[in-house]
Structure 1
Amino acid sequence: MAEKDDQERTEQPSEKRLREAREKGDVPRSRDLSGALVTIAGMAAMMSGSSQAWTHAQRIYQLGLSYDRAELMSGQLPLHVLSAAGWEALLLFAPVALATVLAALGAPLLLGGWSFSSEALMPKFDHLDPIAGLGRMVSMRGLVELGKSLLKLAFIGAALLLLLRHSAGAMLNTGNGHVADDIAASMSLLGRSALLFGVMLGLIGGIDAVYQRFDYNRRQRMTKQELRDESKETDGNPELKGRIRQMQHQMSRKRMMQDLPKADVVVTNPTHFAVALRYDDGRMRAPRVIAKGMDVLAQQIRLVASSHRIPMVEAPPLARALYATTQLGQEVPAALYVAVAQVLAYVYQLKQATEHGATPPEPPSPQVDPDLLGPYRES
């Protein structure tokens, strides 16, 4: 079942998926790499400050053996010895502790970065299920961890065994020399062993870090359906967005029809297009489109214009150009100023002729640049 699920997860994880995993505390981690850095840092600090460490160790040893009879009979001796020994012990282990703490804090930056998640601290009672725990032990991931542990044991054990065999002669001679020299030789061997352990663990940790990154990406992969569902959550349901756009379009059309009676003229195609223009020379720099439509909507615009006695001018090229180059509420482009001015002048002359009973003027035939017609050249 798990193999089938992995086969279905063929898509790379999205940013949202990775962000949610990080919020849950699920980030790639390599305990081997972290352990190696901590070990190497601690041993490096210990070996670099071995002379100071030896001095502090001697002082601790002396505190327990060097005191006179008066101090021995004093009740302050135990407190004095304990405080002095505690201070020397603090100075002895402080560099090592500081180095290991810095290494422990810096190790996560190499793989996954720092991650603080309260959710990861919550108890998970399903982990107490012995059957589920047995399933995790015999899972592919559990088998991989078992194989890694055996390899670590084999490689590190072999390396330490070779080091001890190489240093066998020096170890056997430690009882023949000065005590201080023998202690220094033993500590040096211990330090080299620990450093070798850290280096070997670091090599294994580097390989494990690559594997952990690969395994993390594999576990975070998504199915195509999960990607689609996430896209719906992030960008919104396409059906809902379509419904919202439809409602917005209906509201815009309703406002357009309410503003249509304010128009000064409606330029028509005469059947396919209708564009209503309004011009207030005291408030507008240029005529503005307050309604436009094509086919059925154009017919509705013409009906409203006719019922409100708004002049309609047949100018097919101009109607198509206005429809192609303007949006509702926009001023007409400068390239159409002359053509629109001819239409407005005609409307003004028609109004004057109607009021005075004069002969109506000839309708204009404004010329329009064909490039302004856009996709409506043949309409």
Structure 2
Amino acid sequence: MNVIHYHVDLQFFAGEKTEPATPHKREEGRKKGEVFKSADLSTAISLLALFIYFRVAGGAIGKHLMAVMSGTYQHHLSIVLNTENVQKLFTELTFESLKVLLPLLIVALLVGTGGQLFQVGFLFHPELIRFRPERISILKGLKRIYSLRAVVELLKSILKIILIGLSAFTVIWLNIQWIIRSAQMPLTDGLKTMTKIVLDMGMAASLTLIVLSLFDYLYQRYDYEKNMRMSKQDIKDEFKNMEGDPQIKSRIRERQKQMAARRMMQKLPEADVVITNPTHFAVALEYKAETMDAPRVIAKGADRVAFRIKEVARAHHIVIVERKPLARALYFQLDIGDSIPQDFFKAVAEILAYVYRLKRKG
């Protein structure tokens, strides 16, 4: 009975989602559009950029609008009403409006796009805009309305309204004297004063929204990580599925080759001699009489790897001996870690004797 309970407990813990998502699952989720971002952050940054634009270019915009209105009242009210004049007036007013609106639209587009790219990078997924019947399901709609996420979003909205209202009220309270004085100012000065106060309110509200959005961004990240968690069993299943993928297998083999090559180069300084076919092959041999019955291959390579082996050998003052048939035979018949077979004893012994003589002289 205890064994059964222990087995059930192990299954329970194996199925519990306690592990962070693997890179493969994150990549697959991103392909499906599953990313975390704060929509409020992009909106807040766009609003702040627009209010800053109004602060910088507001005077020029006001002058342009005044010129358009003045021209309309002075020249266009007395025109003859016919199709040609009305069309000409409409075209002129449209172009003048575009001169004002186009910079605003460009600023909003650039800042909004930049905010999205900053959060999720470039992501285009047509599946997200495709029609799905479950999106208009009443039952699923009610679940979304009465879910925990909906409650959190409601609380966030209430908090945003309160804090943004407080920031706007603070700006009004700090400028209450100017608001009262604006009623006694000339029309132009009064409008300038009220415009400045309104822009200050907008910037204060935008900055407040940015601060709230940063907290929302952290919450969205936490919620994303929580939903992406995997159980130990999920990770095992994913690994098994990935092992069957030919591309994954080729990557693993390539990674194994790279690791083996690094280990081989690290072992190479221990070699006694490198036997080469000058341009194509290089085989490094090690022989320790106390522990080895025969010399052993510790590195071998062809072409670029052979060139690299010779470079390392020269750097560590390892003797390089040119024996074309022997180097070719050792390269094709032996693997790294293999001992020299009896057929090559005589040739290799002569080379080692030559190497030892050179070392003694050195």
Whole-angstrom CA distance in 1 between matches of 2:78 and 2:215: 62
2:333 corresponds to 1:330: yes
> After alignment, is 200-209 or 18-27 more displaced?
18-27
Match of 1:39 among 20, 43, 47: 47
Match of 1:86 among 82, 85, 94: 94
Which residue of structure 1 lines up, in the alignment, with residue 343 of structure 2?
Answer: 340
**Structure 1 residues 275-290: aligned runs within 5 Å:** none
1:23/1:342 CA distance change after superposition, 3 Å:
closer
Alpha-carbon contact 2:44-2:213 (below 8 Å) kept: yes
> After alignment, is 211-220 or 120-129 more displaced?
120-129
Alpha-carbon contact 1:111-1:209 (below 8 Å) kept: no
**Structure 1 residues 208-227: aligned runs within 5 Å:** 208-227=216-235
| Partner SS, residue 210 of structure 2 | helix
Alpha-carbon contact 2:61-2:100 (below 8 Å) kept: yes
Which residue of structure 2 lines up, in the alignment, with residue 174 of structure 1?
Answer: 182
| Partner SS, residue 65 of structure 1 | helix
1:27/1:336 CA distance change after superposition, 3 Å:
closer
2:45 corresponds to 1:54: no
TM-score by length of 1: 0.60
| Partner SS, residue 131 of structure 2 | coil
**Structure 1 residues 243-262: aligned runs within 5 Å:** none
Higher relative contact order structure (alpha carbons within 8 Å, sequence separation ≥ 6) = 2
Which residue of structure 2 lines up, in the alignment, with residue 278 of structure 1?
Answer: none
2:234 corresponds to 1:231: no
| Partner SS, residue 177 of structure 1 | coil
1:141/1:342 CA distance change after superposition, 3 Å:
closer
Alpha-carbon contact 1:43-1:195 (below 8 Å) kept: yes
Match of 1:199 among 207, 214, 217: 207
Alpha-carbon contact 2:20-2:229 (below 8 Å) kept: yes
Alpha-carbon contact 2:168-2:202 (below 8 Å) kept: no
Alpha-carbon contact 1:46-1:95 (below 8 Å) kept: no
Q: How many residues align?
A: 261
TM-score by length of 2: 0.63
2:123 corresponds to 1:120: no
Which residue of structure 2 lines up, in the alignment, with residue 144 of structure 1?
Answer: 152
Which residue of structure 2 lines up, in the alignment, with residue 30 of structure 1?
Answer: 38
Whole-angstrom CA distance in 1 between matches of 2:203 and 2:335: 80
1:84/1:332 CA distance change after superposition, 3 Å:
closer
1:208-262: CA deviation from partner (whole Å, max 9, x where unpaired): 111111111111111122111111111139xxx9xxxxxxxxxxxxxxxxxxxxx
2:156 corresponds to 1:153: no
1:234/1:336 CA distance change after superposition, 3 Å:
closer
Whole-angstrom CA distance in 2 between matches of 1:342 and 1:46: 88
1:86-108: CA deviation from partner (whole Å, max 9, x where unpaired): 22211212222111111110001
**Structure 1 residues 182-197: aligned runs within 5 Å:** 182-197=190-205
1:186/1:81 CA distance change after superposition, 3 Å:
farther
Whole-angstrom CA distance in 2 between matches of 1:219 and 1:104: 27
Alpha-carbon contact 2:167-2:201 (below 8 Å) kept: no
Alpha-carbon contact 1:27-1:115 (below 8 Å) kept: no
| Partner SS, residue 230 of structure 2 | coil
Shift of 1:121: 0.9
Shift of 1:73: 6.2
Shift of 1:68: 7.3
| Partner SS, residue 10 of structure 1 | strand
| Partner SS, residue 220 of structure 2 | helix
Counterpart amino acid of 2:236?
R
Which residue of structure 2 lines up, in the alignment, with residue 18 of structure 1?
Answer: 26
Shift of 1:27: 1.1
Whole-angstrom CA distance in 2 between matches of 1:50 and 1:8: 58
Whole-angstrom CA distance in 1 between matches of 2:77 and 2:133: 62
RMSD (Å), alpha carbons: 3.6
